[in-house]
Amino acid sequence: MAKIRRFNPLPRGLIKGLRRIAIALFTLWLVIFLWQAPVVYPGLDRGDRNVATDIRGIWMTDAASALMYTSTRLDEVVANLADHHLNTLYPAVWDRGYTLYPNTVTEEAGGKRRDPLLALPLLPFQDALAGLVHQAHRQHLRLIPWFEYGFIIPASAAIAMAHPDWLTTNQAGETVLNPLEPDERLPRSLQNLQLEMVGGNWAWLNPCHPEVQQFLIDLIVDVVKRYEVDGIQLDDHFGLPVELGYDPYTITLYQQEHNGQSPPTDPTNADWMAWRAAHITALFSRIATAVRSVNPDTIISLSPNPPTFAYQKYLQNWTYWAEQGWIDEVVVQIYRDTIETFQQSLAQSKFAYLNQQIPVGIGLYTGPFADAKPIDFITQQVESIKSAGYQGVAIFSWETTLWLFKKSSESSVLQAFYRLFPLP
């Protein structure tokens, strides 16, 4: 019988060496993963985070949050905000029919538990919003989740496909107002993503529909219940394009309240606009009440367009909301390409009187990725805001102000922020 040759094991010395290398690599990974950027101003007392009359905010998109989170650089990013003397971070948490955080509200509505960008095998057990809250509070910043998309939802989103009756339409029965064609060379999933990113398949949830109303209330209240956030923010997308509202549900509801009459064919008819605006107002009131019932100290923040534009284009009567005490701070978006038009818009604003009631800040746009605004332009805008007597500023967005796409050098941006936003 032939002898069976035994496999010669690796030398013991080599095995021990490999084991040490494996332990060293794991320890190094653990240190990198668990290390947190130091607190920038450990002795700084910014006072009550819920009473920030001097708004120094910045918006961060969901894609940026996902990238920073999965690369474990979230702590460095938030520390950098503190280093630039900012005091408020508005991260997008509701975008393209997804949330930044795991939840059951969207799942029960037929959607995903969270944005697939954050469902990667790298960090399947973690939570980007929880990480943002933790890091923001370490650095003495307010963390106010921004429900960016409001009533907007891509027609390709799972929630929209599960509930087509939740979508409103124009008179032609169209749910998407400005449809675009995707690049046919892309796979179907990437075609949908392309359209979602550029607004080529955006539909709108119906603010008159009771199931839509409850979905949005549950979505927002869920965050306040489960996270130590300082507030919540809605913006100009918590409104409805004036062309919409001709879906079967809304028509029937209108007829029930108007002796069988159908809505006017002119979408800008004053009574028809007021009727739809009243439904949006009622929903905002319900959201504010529900949030405050969970935590009365939660800041209700709104970032709308100037009043006339907001109402005429999006049926958003937000100055009334502020007058009723439903808003704790407002950041009005004044996105202009020149300092002259920016200053003119400030001078012609019809909301300055609200400064006596709540903190009113101004939202600035620092440009698209390919054409960011230089720091000198941002400086001029902030100085104009201060001269006009408003109580702060919020910048859209982090990506074109402090990250890779910024126009000016890092040192010039930092020095400008030090001058514009001195520490208390």
Summarize pLDDT for 326-351 with one digit per residue, the tens: 999 999 999 999 999 999 999 988 89
Kindly write down the DSSP assignment for every residue of 234-285, as one continuous string. Answer: EETTSS--TT---SHHHHHHHHHHTTTPPPPSSTT-HHHHHHHHHHHHHHHH
User: Where is average pLDDT lowest: 24-28, 312-316, 361-365?
Assistant: 24-28
Does residue 124 surpass a pLDDT of 50? no
Mean pLDDT for 44-70 is 73
**Taking a C-beta distance cutoff of 8 angstroms, is the pair 96, 154 a contact?**
yes
Is the pLDDT at 33 greater than 60? The verdict is no
Describe the chain by its helix, strand, coil percentages, rounded to 5.
45, 10, 45
Residue 273 has pLDDT above 60, yes or no: yes
Pick the closest to residue 143 from 233, 39, 231, 44 (CA basis).
231
As assigned by CATH, the class of the 56-151+210-420 domain is alpha beta
pLDDT for position 377? 97
Decide if 391 contacts 60 (C-beta within 8 A). Answer: no
pLDDT, one tens digit per residue, over 347-383 is 988 899 999 999 999 999 999 888 999 999 999 999 9
24 — pLDDT class (breaks 50, 70, 90): low
Q: Does 108 have pLDDT greater than 50? A: yes
Kindly report whether the global pTM for this prediction surpasses the value 0.75: yes
Task: Tell me the domain boundaries of the chain.
Answer: 56-151+210-420
Does 3 score more than 90 pLDDT? no
- Answer left, alpha or beta for residue 259, where phi above 0 means left and psi between -120 and 50 means alpha: left
Strand, coil or helix: 405: coil
pLDDT value at 56 more than 80? yes
Radius of gyration, alpha carbons of the chain: 25
Q: DSSP states of 107-171 as a string? A: HHTTS-SS-GGG--TTSTT--HHHHHHHHHHHTT-EE--B-TTTTEEETTSHHHHH-GGGB---T
Lowest mean pLDDT among 29-43, 104-118, 256-270: 29-43
What is the C-alpha separation between 301 and 311, in angstroms, rounded? 18
256 — pLDDT class (breaks 50, 70, 90): very high
Cα–Cα distances in angstroms (integers) from residue 378 to residues 52, 77, 366, 396, 411, in the given order: 22, 20, 7, 11, 15
Q: What is the pLDDT of residue 405?
A: 85
CB atoms within 10 A of CB 140: 17
Average the pLDDT over 144-172 and give the result.
Answer: 97
- Across 107-121, 131-145, 169-183, 226-240, least confident range: 107-121
Model confidence at 154, pLDDT cuts 50, 70, 90, reads: very high
Q: What is the pLDDT of residue 111?
A: 94
Which residue is associated with the tokens 């390919």? 370
Which residue would you say has higher pLDDT here, 420 or 122?
Answer: 420
Q: Mean per-residue pLDDT for 168-193?
A: 88
Handedness of CA 417, 420, 421, 424 (dihedral sign): positive
Structure-block tokens of residue 303 = 């970032």
pLDDT score recorded for residue 218: 99
Which value, to the nearest 10 degrees, does the dihedral of the CA atoms of residues 334, 338, 344, 350 take?
Answer: -10
